[in-house]
Amino acid sequence: MNLDSIDTPALLLDLDKMEANIAFIAGRCRDHGVNWRPHFKSHKTVEIAKKQIAAGAIGVTCAKLGEAEVLADAGITDILIANQIVGPLKIARLMKLLDRADVIVSVDSKENVAELAAGGKKLRVVIEVDTGMNRAGVEPGAPVVALANEIARHPNLRFCGVMSWEVHAAAIPDQVLKEKTTAQAIGMLTASADACRAAGHDVSIVSAGGTGTLLYCMQQPGVTEVQIGGAIFNDEHYRLHFGVTLPQSLTILTTVTSRPNPTRVVVDAGRKAMSWDAGMPRALDVPPVASLKLSAEHAQLGLEAPSATPHVGDRIQFVPGYTDTTIHLHEEIVALRGGRIEAVWKVTARGKIK
């Protein structure tokens, strides 16, 4: 089957490019002696997670308990939920999930530690450390040790390490400063891990890193694993704002539905098919574009100069502005090799936001 058989809008994935990106990340991890636990939240697709594991990933990171349940259903059991699981409803689900998966959860408060311990089952936990993101997490150093001590009081909980995300370094354009900022942030994390060891705790996981610090996070001393996820696609957000130069493997296929005048092109995919929150999509293989506007169901391209092409009925592909908030809009991904359809994968964790 070829692209003519695909209705639009549709998510297209170039398998050769994605697999090359997976191999690049996995290879760099091996070179630096660091494990790869890629984030699932960017693609939400079991088949892609299995490709990452086949390439050497030790397990999967996810953002939501619902994503972890999908992974466990697919037989992927080594899972880090890089968020706090809070409240009786979610903790009851987590306890059921532990019957079929070895889940690690992140904590940053005594209250959450106590309710997890009361769940009644053995559970691995890591402490989220705020190394500059200024979202969740405890301050580095002594507060981390204090929370590790609290975890150790509960026989059901096994403290296994620390995690953070040095996102504030990701958008720094100067590479020397970016590397320095990454090293400083991860240094706070590894120092916190060392402080926990000095206090008598076993620390087997020091998890950090993401696509924006791909070149620097895994080479920092003391890191045991990185969570790099979206680099396998490399959208416009990562390319323009984070300086990632890997091949862009994911596109949105659209159809030109209207040419009201020689400088306006209208296609059948808007905000319900491609996001614009972190970056605007980029149209491929079209005349130079002066503007792009997204409405709910349409995108309007304003061309720099009048052009007879593209015609009504022609297909245009867009690189997503941000894959994390584009893929979840779609039910499936069409996987291509050499321009022909090799597989159609369901976005299995679509809607799993709980």
Give residue-wise pLDDT tens across range 66-83. Answer: 999 999 999 999 999 999
Q: Report pTM.
A: 0.96
Which pLDDT score, from 0 to 100, does residue 114 have? 98
Do 252 and 198 belong to one domain?
no
Mean pLDDT of the 313-326 span: 98
Q: What confidence tier does 286 reach under pLDDT thresholds 50, 70, 90?
A: very high
Please give the pLDDT value at position 2: 82
Token pair for 9: 């809008």
Judge if 210 and 259 occupy the same domain. no
Mean pLDDT of the chain, nearest integer = 97
Q: What is the dihedral of CA 266, 271, 276, 282, to 10 degrees?
A: -30
Do 228 and 250 reside in the same domain of the chain?
A: no
Identify the pLDDT of residue 135.
96
Please tell me the predicted confidence (pLDDT) of residue 234.
Answer: 98
Answer yes or no: is pLDDT of 164 > 80: yes
Give the pLDDT confidence score for residue 1 in this predicted structure: 76
One domain, residues 228 and 254: no
Is residue 145 domain-shared with residue 226, that is, in the same domain? yes
Per-residue confidence band for 3, with pLDDT thresholds at 50, 70 and 90: confident
Q: CB neighbours (10 Å) of residue 342?
A: 12
Mean pLDDT of 279-295: 98
* Rounded to 5°, angle at Cα 30 from 26 and 36: 50
| Nearest to 250, CA basis, from 41, 25, 39, 10 | 10
Question: Are 190 and 75 in a shared domain?
Answer: yes
For 48, the domain range is 15-232
Are 228 and 256 within one domain?
no
For the segment 312-329, the average pLDDT, to the nearest whole number, is 98
66 and 137 share one domain: yes
